[in-house]
Chains A and B, each alone.
Chain A
């Protein structure tokens, strides 16, 4: 579905083969762990077996004597990192805490917290030598759940941490595990509740879940004799790795070169650094290049998950209007502050035009791994809560749940809870398209079957991008960029350049280069790359057009205003016989002033937010508790779909991650803080047999902040599925589930009153 505003494009909207595709289907693409260097040795990390313990001593002397061991490091090898905040794309991080997470200093704060690392001739030798490191711990009681951690008598992770109230900057008198408190309020919630037809109050919980990228974290470093450092790693942001490593190791930024390898998935989980400074220090000590790759257990125990949450929602309706929402959101940050509760609270009400709201947001540390961003971080859990309650309100008021959303929809000019007014958004168009979809218009029949819908919102990011475009004398083009290509952005950027220059897509060869070879680029996160690096590509393309116009004017002896550039051809307005194609002009570059190179470095503003509405049909087996997804349709405002196949792919992938989160995925801890399901066998992600084909409906409401109308598309599709499935299960069973995951066990227990 396309809105009328869209112009006609020649390349945008087509589905060419991605430039890096052949290497990836033939096994030749080099991912993080595929690097091999002369003299390479291997590292393994010793991790805390305790969820909460004081580290009394670390003795590495026996390990150092183990045959084949070439270097050992602990936190004592890290320079004392400054207590300062570094911006990292979607999140800001405290460098001291990053350093403490890389190698624990005084305390181990979660099971799997890195304590020491060994580099040896082979990974097997390094692993054996780990057993010879002696660590003396004073084991402390762990606190594992967000509500437990908020109690006054909870064990404290950090005795000097005080709660910061973000509106005032005030610090609490007593130490606490609550790192921050924030509030967004508007209108008069109590008055709205008093005059409502119905007020519904519910409590929701979600467990920590992992991004589940298939490629484990890996890093290889070579500390050169001149004090410079090269790191080969798989990351969503080579420049972020460079910045953080230079901070943690106290090196000038230009002494660190990060070479981005192909990346095997990230979803936000490959924004932080874990291994990079460790292999760097081991390389410095051993004089050899050092590689470390995490095991899957280490990935689960020590990287990434997103927050477990507790969310209380009280909401009211009058007629077909949503009149007020009050909510308390408590998010687990893991071992160090920084949960995405802010984003959760700022996105949850975005689908609605709502005057009265009062949101309270708490960021809480617990003895579990420090959370990392995960696709629309913070938004899915909040949407699970509010979209479940909205469903109940609509049902109570006997209004179709999509009609209810349509009546209450936010639109251009509606203010978000942070006071910012929406620019042109496609929320209403999306709900309308969902209402008119073949799926929603089809009947749902049969016992134990039900249908659910839910909406979601994500801001999308802009941030910094740099690109260089070199025109070759045969008319081919090298596009040099610094944004990690995690799922087709080489294609989406080359397509935008082809559109700008009016040249064929396959004459452009894009490359993602190392941090020495291009200006700064922020991370591939926040659904920003096709938008922001796309904007840079457009600017660089326009730079080339201007240069070509100037040269043609000189050649023809006319003013620049008398030359136009259209669809890859330069024409003289004064003399219609004079024209040059892009290729002909490129061939003359040496005679007309030298190489033609376009470039752009920019801070992209005007990222357009994205809305999605999902429809799902389920069948519940009352005996086994298994939920089968019968049909799934995801509707989304995608701005302009540059490469529709990759847009659909983002939506399908996000929806299926959401299905896993809703039905099966959870971090399962025992009471000592041991993660008991740290494998892909026990942490159950969806397989081919668990999901149907995911139908997509692309609604195109162009983003006015981008020349081609691009909106980020990658994150919002994970926001609606949790509630959509809960709503479908409620429709099928008559029972409202408020705790995730809605696993077979939970269904059987709750449906039979055993919980």
Chain B
């Protein structure tokens, strides 16, 4: 199968890559570009472990073809921290023990970021509504929801 030449912006850097039309964004991120922070849990859009931002919207990377990202802006979990400066969500997840095995964590943080970008001060129900597309089997969600609320409060204070 011949490959297509794609140019996109990934985590604030211009990139180029070759992709087969059948390859998903998830596959290309992980296997061609080497960014494995985006996780595969189901490969059919039901677990949210591969959540990334595509032109400012949160999407399941397994349900986007890599060739669709031509000219687009993609943000993955690797694009959130700046050097050793963690994103407030990342810091809150650590402090609140919001991860156990951690495989779903990148997806949750990306979905939470998409929420806080739109609604900086959500209540608990809004947080739960926005994160309902992400499955976690370890935590029972309690500490994840608390971490997102904490990050939201901190980001509001910092403004």
List the interface of chain A (C-beta within 8 A of B).
15, 17-18, 20-22, 24-31, 33-34, 36, 124, 211-216, 262-267, 293, 295-296, 486-488, 643, 645-646, 648-650, 652-657, 679-681, 685-689, 691, 693-694
Nearest-CB residue, chain B, relative to A651 = B140
Which residues on the A side are within 8 Å of B131 (C-beta)? Answer: 687-688
Nearest-CB residue, chain B, relative to A40 = B31
B152 at the interface (CB under 8 A from A): no
In the complex, the answer to whether A653 meets B135 with C-beta atoms within 8 Å is no
Max chain B CB contacts within 10 Å: which of A17, A25, A26, A689? Answer: A25
B37 at the interface (CB under 8 A from A): yes
Q: Known contacts A30-B36, A680-B46, A689-B129; decide if A652 and B94 are in contact (CB<8 Å).
A: no
In the complex, the answer to whether A680 meets B103 with C-beta atoms within 8 Å is no
CB distance from A350 to the nearest CB of B (A): 24
CB distance from A568 to the nearest CB of B (A): 26
CB under 8 Å from chain A, chain B span 112-158: 127-129, 131-146
Which residues on the B side are within 8 Å of A648 (C-beta)? Answer: 97, 142-143
Please measure, in the bound complex, the distance between the C-alpha atom of A265 and the C-alpha atom of B46, giving whole angstroms. 17
B8 at the interface (CB under 8 A from A): no
Please measure, in the bound complex, the distance between the C-alpha atom of A387 and the C-alpha atom of B78, giving whole angstroms. 47
Partner of A214, one of B41, B96, B142: B41
In the complex, the answer to whether A22 meets B94 with C-beta atoms within 8 Å is yes
* CB<8 Å pairs between A and B, sample of 9: A26-B78, A213-B101, A264-B39, A265-B138, A296-B47, A486-B100, A656-B141, A688-B128, A688-B144
Partner of A264, one of B103, B127, B143, B144: B103
Q: Mark B8-44, 1 if CB is under 8 A from A, else 0.
A: 0000000000001010000000110011111111111
Nearest-CB residue, chain B, relative to A695 = B142
Q: Known contacts A216-B40, A649-B143, A688-B128; decide if A24 and B99 are in contact (CB<8 Å).
A: yes
In the complex, the answer to whether A679 meets B46 with C-beta atoms within 8 Å is yes
Please measure, in the bound complex, the distance between the C-alpha atom of A691 and the C-alpha atom of B137, giving whole angstroms. 13
Interface residues on B, range: 35 or more
Which residues on the A side are within 8 Å of B106 (C-beta)? Answer: 25, 27
Nearest-CB residue, chain B, relative to A491 = B97
Q: Known contacts A26-B80, A27-B38, A29-B102; decide if A652 and B96 are in contact (CB<8 Å).
A: no
In the complex, the answer to whether B77 meets A680 with C-beta atoms within 8 Å is no
B104 at the interface (CB under 8 A from A): yes
Please measure, in the bound complex, the distance between the C-alpha atom of A215 and the C-alpha atom of B106, giving whole angstroms. 13
In the complex, the answer to whether A216 meets B140 with C-beta atoms within 8 Å is no
Max chain B CB contacts within 10 Å: which of A213, A214, A686? Answer: A214
Which residues on the A side are within 8 Å of B81 (C-beta)? Answer: 26
In the complex, the answer to whether A214 meets B140 with C-beta atoms within 8 Å is no
In the complex, the answer to whether B100 meets A656 with C-beta atoms within 8 Å is no
In the complex, the answer to whether A18 meets B97 with C-beta atoms within 8 Å is yes
Which residues on the A side are within 8 Å of B146 (C-beta)? Answer: 693
Partner of B93, one of A25, A654, A688: A25
List 7 additional A-B contacts (Cβ < 8 Å) besides A21-B93, A27-B36, A214-B41: A27-B78, A36-B31, A265-B100, A649-B138, A653-B138, A689-B129, A693-B146
Nearest-CB residue, chain A, relative to B144 = A688
Please measure, in the bound complex, the distance between the C-alpha atom of A293 and the C-alpha atom of B103, giving whole angstroms. 15
Q: Known contacts A30-B36, A264-B103, A655-B140; decide if A25 and B46 are in contact (CB<8 Å).
A: no
Q: Known contacts A33-B40, A214-B41, A296-B44; decide if A24 and B105 are in contact (CB<8 Å).
A: yes
In the complex, the answer to whether B46 meets A691 with C-beta atoms within 8 Å is no
In the complex, the answer to whether A18 meets B137 with C-beta atoms within 8 Å is no
CB distance from B30 to the nearest CB of A (A): 8
In the complex, the answer to whether A26 meets B37 with C-beta atoms within 8 Å is yes
Which residues on the A side are within 8 Å of B137 (C-beta)? Answer: 211-214, 265, 267, 653, 657, 685
B109 at the interface (CB under 8 A from A): yes
Q: Known contacts A486-B101, A487-B101; decide if A216 and B138 are in contact (CB<8 Å).
A: no
Partner of B86, one of A15, A26, A124, A657: A26
Nearest-CB residue, chain A, relative to B76 = A27
Please measure, in the bound complex, the distance between the C-alpha atom of A741 and the C-alpha atom of B90, giving whole angstroms. 36
Partner of B42, one of A296, A645, A649: A296
Q: Known contacts A25-B90, A214-B49, A681-B46; decide if A645 and B135 are in contact (CB<8 Å).
A: no
In the complex, the answer to whether B138 meets A487 with C-beta atoms within 8 Å is yes
Partner of B128, one of A267, A487, A643, A689: A689
The 6 A-B pairs at the shortest CB distance, nearest first, are namely: A27-B37, A264-B103, A487-B100, A656-B140, A652-B140, A24-B102
In the complex, the answer to whether B99 meets A31 with C-beta atoms within 8 Å is no
Nearest-CB residue, chain B, relative to A30 = B36
CB distance from A616 to the nearest CB of B (A): 13
Please measure, in the bound complex, the distance between the C-alpha atom of A207 and the C-alpha atom of B90, giving whole angstroms. 38
Max chain A CB contacts within 10 Å: which of B40, B96, B132, B143? Answer: B40
Partner of A18, one of B39, B40, B86, B94: B94
Please measure, in the bound complex, the distance between the C-alpha atom of A33 and the C-alpha atom of B34, giving whole angstroms. 12
In the complex, the answer to whether A31 meets B39 with C-beta atoms within 8 Å is yes
In the complex, the answer to whether B44 meets A689 with C-beta atoms within 8 Å is no
Which residues on the B side are within 8 Å of A649 (C-beta)? Answer: 97, 100, 138-140, 142-143
Please measure, in the bound complex, the distance between the C-alpha atom of A691 and the C-alpha atom of B49, giving whole angstroms. 20
Please measure, in the bound complex, the distance between the C-alpha atom of A295 and the C-alpha atom of B41, giving whole angstroms. 8
Q: Known contacts A17-B94, A652-B139, A688-B131; decide if A295 and B43 are in contact (CB<8 Å).
A: yes
In the complex, the answer to whether A25 meets B109 with C-beta atoms within 8 Å is yes
Please measure, in the bound complex, the distance between the C-alpha atom of A652 and the C-alpha atom of B139, giving whole angstroms. 6
Nearest-CB residue, chain A, relative to B127 = A688
Nearest-CB residue, chain A, relative to B35 = A27
In the complex, the answer to whether A646 meets B97 with C-beta atoms within 8 Å is yes
In the complex, the answer to whether A693 meets B102 with C-beta atoms within 8 Å is no
B95 at the interface (CB under 8 A from A): yes
Please measure, in the bound complex, the distance between the C-alpha atom of A296 and the C-alpha atom of B22, giving whole angstroms. 19
In the complex, the answer to whether B103 meets A214 with C-beta atoms within 8 Å is yes
Please measure, in the bound complex, the distance between the C-alpha atom of A215 and the C-alpha atom of B41, giving whole angstroms. 5
In the complex, the answer to whether A264 meets B101 with C-beta atoms within 8 Å is yes
In the complex, the answer to whether B96 meets A645 with C-beta atoms within 8 Å is yes
In the complex, the answer to whether A214 meets B135 with C-beta atoms within 8 Å is yes
Q: Known contacts A265-B137, A652-B139, A680-B42; decide if A25 and B101 are in contact (CB<8 Å).
A: no
CB distance from A36 to the nearest CB of B (A): 7
Which residues on the B side are within 8 Å of A656 (C-beta)? Answer: 139-141
Please measure, in the bound complex, the distance between the C-alpha atom of A680 and the C-alpha atom of B41, giving whole angstroms. 9
Which residues on the A side are within 8 Å of B136 (C-beta)? Answer: 214
Which residues on the B side are within 8 Å of A645 (C-beta)? Answer: 96-97, 143
Which residues on the B side are within 8 Å of A655 (C-beta)? Answer: 140
In the complex, the answer to whether B42 meets A26 with C-beta atoms within 8 Å is no
Please measure, in the bound complex, the distance between the C-alpha atom of A79 and the C-alpha atom of B141, giving whole angstroms. 45
Which residues on the A side are within 8 Å of B46 (C-beta)? Answer: 296, 679-681
Please measure, in the bound complex, the distance between the C-alpha atom of A574 and the C-alpha atom of B103, giving whole angstroms. 55
Which residues on the B side are within 8 Å of A486 (C-beta)? Answer: 100-101
Please measure, in the bound complex, the distance between the C-alpha atom of A486 and the C-alpha atom of B103, giving whole angstroms. 10
Please measure, in the bound complex, the distance between the C-alpha atom of A679 and the C-alpha atom of B104, giving whole angstroms. 17
CB distance from A642 to the nearest CB of B (A): 12
Which residues on the A side are within 8 Å of B36 (C-beta)? Answer: 27, 30-31, 33-34
Partner of A25, one of B31, B43, B86, B142: B86
CB distance from B145 to the nearest CB of A (A): 7
Nearest-CB residue, chain B, relative to A690 = B132
Nearest-CB residue, chain B, relative to A26 = B81
In the complex, the answer to whether A687 meets B140 with C-beta atoms within 8 Å is no
In the complex, the answer to whether B104 meets A214 with C-beta atoms within 8 Å is yes
Which residues on the A side are within 8 Å of B22 (C-beta)? Answer: 124
Nearest-CB residue, chain B, relative to A656 = B140
In the complex, the answer to whether A27 meets B77 with C-beta atoms within 8 Å is yes
In the complex, the answer to whether B139 meets A25 with C-beta atoms within 8 Å is no
Max chain B CB contacts within 10 Å: which of A124, A654, A656, A687? Answer: A687
Nearest-CB residue, chain A, relative to B101 = A265
Please measure, in the bound complex, the distance between the C-alpha atom of A15 and the C-alpha atom of B141, giving whole angstroms. 19
Nearest-CB residue, chain A, relative to B129 = A689
Q: Known contacts A25-B105, A27-B106; decide if A693 and B139 are in contact (CB<8 Å).
A: no
Nearest-CB residue, chain A, relative to B111 = A688
Which residues on the A side are within 8 Å of B129 (C-beta)? Answer: 688-689
Please measure, in the bound complex, the distance between the C-alpha atom of A17 and the C-alpha atom of B106, giving whole angstroms. 17
Q: Known contacts A15-B97, A25-B109; decide if A691 and B141 are in contact (CB<8 Å).
A: yes
Nearest-CB residue, chain B, relative to A660 = B137
In the complex, the answer to whether A646 meets B39 with C-beta atoms within 8 Å is no
